[in-house]
Amino acid sequence: MSTDKREHEIVSFLGGIVGPEYVTTSRFEKIKQSLDAYPYHADMNNLPIAVVLPKTSQDISEILKYANKEKIPVYVRGSGTQLIGASRPDRPGIVIFTSRMKTFDIKEDWGYFEAGAGIRNQEAKDLLAERGYFLPLVIGAKHIASFGGATSNNTSAHLIDTGIGKPGDYILAVEAVLPTGEIIETGTHGLGKPAGTDMTKFFVGGDGILGVVTKTRMRLVPMIQYSYGIACFSELAPIARGVKRMYLEQVPVPIFTEFLDHNVATIGYTNKGMEAPPGHVIFFVSYDREKEQADKKMNLLIDVFKKEDPIYADPVTDMDQWKKVWTARESTIPFLMTSLEGRLLVCEVVGNLAQFEEMMEEAADFNKGVPYLEDLTNYLFGHIGALSFHPSFIIPPDLGDERMWELSRLLYKREAEFNAKYGTCGREWGQFSKRKDFFIMRYGQTSYDLMKRIKAAFDPNNILNPGVLEGYR
C-alpha cells in the first residue's frame, strides 16, 4: 500500500473516532509535536503520520485498539515539557495530544478531586485555590504541564520530596487505557491508599510506557501558609553542611530550598534590577497550615544555617523583595540564555545525605574532564533541600545539531556516572529515554530486561511510546 493511501486510511479512521476537525496531517503540526524542550531539530524522515486530539478515554481506547491491529506506534503528549526526550516521537506514528481532555471535578464530600489528562498544572492549582485547597505539585513548566504527564512522570519537580512528598503520595487512583485498548480503574474512592498490590503504581511514575493515564484522582490538601528566608555563603561546603544539619537536627523540612551559585545568582539578581549578592544564595520556603507555625519553622531553619557562618541568613518579610529574588530563581534558565545568548544543556544530579558535602563539591566541578564541556562555565543551581542540582551549560547557538547531540550524550553519560556513584537517581524527569544507560548502570541488565518484559506484558506489540525504554532520542 502506498504511503499516501495508508496515511489517508489512518486519518480517516481517526476522524471517524474523534471527528475530522480533531485530526491533522499538517506538516507543521507534525513538526511541532515532534519537538521537545531540548534544542534539537525535528527529523524530516521520522515525522508523525497524524496528530489527533481525543476528548474521552473511550476515544483513546479505540485509537489504541486500531493501532494494535495495524501495528502503528502511538505517542502520547500532554504538553511536551519533559526534559529527557520521552515526549519526542522518534518514528512515524500517531501522536495523541491530550489538550481537550479537560475534565476537572472537585468532590469535597469524598475528599478528593479528579483531573482529566489535559488539565494544566496552573489551571488545577487555581481551581483548587478557589476552594481553599493546595495542589502538591509545583512543576517548572506549571503554566503548560498537563496533569496526565505529571502523573505519568510522578515528578516532585522543585518541591522537596522529604517534606511535602511526591504526587504519587496523594494520588488515590487513576483511570488508564492499556496499550491494548482496555480501560481500567485502579486504586480507591476512599482516602486511604491500598495496602499490598496497588496497580496505580504501574502508571504513576510509569514513564508513560505501560498505559495512558486519562484521569487522576488525588486527595484534597488544605491550603498552606508560607514563610520565607534567604541565606548567602561565600563557600559551598558550609551550605552542604547546613543542609545536612537541617536533616540531622530534625528541623521541619521546608517546601522549597533553592540554591543558586554565585554566577547564576549574579545574573538573576541583576536581571531583576538588584545588586548582585556577595556569594552563593539559598532561598527557603517553610510551610504550615498556620502562618505563625510556618514562621516558627523558618526561624528554626535560619538558626541551623547560621551555625555554618553565612554572610547572612535572615527571614524575609518584605514581599516585594521576595518576589524579585524568587523570580531571579524561577527565571534562572531564561536569564542564563538571554544574558549569555546561547542554548541550554542541563542535567540533574542527586546526592545522598551521608556524602552530601563531597557530592556538592563534585557537582560544582561536574564538567571537569568532560570533553568540550570542560571549556564551558558550569552554572549550578538546583533544589538543594532535595539534595539535587542542575549543572547547566550555555552552548553557542551556531553549534550544529550533530555536535549538540554529541554534547547531550556526554552530558547524560556524566550525569549517569555521577548519580550511579552516589547511588541515587533523577527525581524530576523520568528514568528512560536519554537515561536508559543510567538505568542499566545503576540497576543492572537484569533489572532492565525485567522492565522490558513488563512492558511486553502490557504492550505486546510495543506500540505505546516505543523508543522510551529503548533509549536515547
Partner 1 sequence: MEEQDRWIETLEGEIKEWGIKCINCNFCYTACPLFKSMEGFLINGPSGLLQSIYYALHWDFLGKEVKEEIINILYSCTTCTSCVIRCKDVSAGIPVVDLVECGRKILVEKALGPGTAHKEVLGFLDQSGNPYGKPAEKRLDWLKELEKENKLTYKLLPDDDQAETLLYIGCTASYEEDLQNVARSIVLLLEKLKADYGILKKENCCGSPARQLGEEGLFMELSEKTYEAALKSGVKQVVTVSPHCYNSFKTEYPESFQKLEVQHYTEYFFNQIEKGALTPSKKIEKAITFHDPCYLGKRNEIYDAPRAIISKIPGVKLVEMKDNKVDSLCCGGGGGRMYVEVDEVTRLSHLRLEQALATGTEIIATACPWCYTQMKDAIKATDQEDRIEVKDISELLLMSVS
- Name the amino acid, one letter, at 361: E
51 binds partner 1 (CB under 8 A): yes
Q: How, if at all, do strands 133-134 and 104-107 pair?
A: unpaired
Would you say 27 or 307 has its CB closer to partner 1? 27
Angstrom distance (rounded) from CA 265 to CA 261 = 6
Taking the CA atoms of 155, 160, 165 and 171 in sequence, report the sign of the dihedral they define.
Answer: negative
CA of residue 12 relative to chain centroid, distance: 35
CB atoms within 10 A of CB 426: 20
Instruction: Give how far Cα 380 sits from Cα of 158, 160, 276, 343, 416, Å.
Output: 15, 18, 16, 16, 17
Total residues at interface with partner 1 (CB under 8 A): 42
Nearer to partner 1 among residue 42 and residue 410 (C-beta) = 42
Rounded-to-integer distance, Cα 57 and Cα 116, Å: 9
Binding mask 211-250 for partner 1 (x = CB under 8 A): ----------------------------------------
Segment lying near partner 1 (by CB under 8 A), choices 18-26, 179-187, 238-246, 288-296: 18-26
- Asked if 331 touches partner 1 (CB under 8 A), the answer is yes
**Which residue of 38, 134, 284, 458 would you call a contact of partner 1, by CB under 8 A?**
38
Out of 4, 28, 222, 446, which residue is the one contacting partner 1 (CB under 8 A)?
28
Copy the grid coordinates of residue 172.
Answer: 488515590
The answer to whether 125 contacts partner 1 (rule: CB under 8 A) is no
Sequence-ordered alpha helix ranges (H) in 19-153: 27-32, 57-70, 121-130, 147-153
Rounded CA separation 330/279 (Å):
18
Q: Smallest gap, in angstroms, from Cβ of residue 394 to partner 1?
A: 11
Sign of CA dihedral 282, 288, 294, 299: negative
- The binding track of 388-417 with respect to partner 1, each residue x by CB under 8 A or -, is ---------x--------------------
Which x/- pattern over 81-120 shows residues binding partner 1 (rule: CB under 8 A)?
x---------------x-xx-x---------------x-x
Q: Closest CB to partner 1 among 137 and 440?
A: 137
For the chain, give the longest Cα–Cα distance: 73
**Residue 44 in the binding site for partner 1 (CB under 8 A):** yes
For position 122 contacting partner 1 by CB under 8 A, the verdict is yes
- How many whole angstroms separate alpha carbon 15 and alpha carbon 9? 10
According to CB under 8 A, which one of 106, 127, 138, 144 is a site residue for partner 1?
144
Return the amino acid letter for 265: A
Burial code (b: 16+ CB inside 10 Å, e: under 16) for 58-73 equals ebbbbbbebbbeeebb
Output phi, psi for 222, to 5 deg: -60, 150
Q: Closer to partner 1 at the Cβ: 141 or 282?
A: 141
* Residue 114 Cβ vs partner 1, minimum distance, rounded to whole Å: 19
25 binds partner 1 per the rule CB under 8 A:
no
Near partner 1 by CB under 8 A: residue from 330, 357, 358, 406: 330
Contact partners, residue 445, CB within 8 Å, separation at least 6: none
Residue 203 CA to residue 183 CA, distance in Å, equals 13
Instruction: Find where cell 495496602 sits.
Output: 195
Q: What angle do CA 161, 97, 218 make, to 5 degrees?
A: 35
At 226, list the grid cell: 508560607
Work out how close the CB of 36 gets to partner 1 at its nearest, in angstroms, rounded to a whole number.
6
Nearer to partner 1, 21 or 375 (CB): 21
Give min distance, CB of 161 to partner 1, in A.
Answer: 23
**Residue 138, interface with partner 1 (CB under 8 A)?**
no
CB of 24 or CB of 419, closer to partner 1: 24
User: How far, in Å, CA of 329 to CA of 332, rounded?
Assistant: 5
Q: Residue 329 in contact with residue 268, Cβ under 8 Å? A: yes
Question: Which positions from 340 to 379 touch partner 1 by CB under 8 A, shown as an x/- string?
Answer: ---xx-----------------------------------
Site string for partner 1, 52-81 (x = CB under 8 A): -x-------------------------xxx
Unique residue bearing C-alpha cell 526526550:
85
Q: Quick one: which segment of 188-196, 324-332, 425-433, 451-459 binds partner 1 (CB under 8 A)? A: 324-332
Nearer to partner 1, 76 or 313 (CB): 76
CA neighbor of 230 nearest in space, from 164, 160, 142, 329? 329
Q: Which of 9, 12, 20, 26 binds partner 1 (CB under 8 A)?
A: 26
Q: Which is nearer to partner 1, 125 or 421 (CB)?
A: 125
Least distance in Å: CB of 106 to partner 1?
Answer: 19
Give residues in contact with partner 1 (CB under 8 A).
Answer: 22, 24, 26-29, 31-33, 35-39, 41-42, 44, 51, 53, 79-81, 97, 99-100, 102, 118, 120, 122, 141, 143-144, 327, 330-331, 333-334, 337-338, 343-344, 397
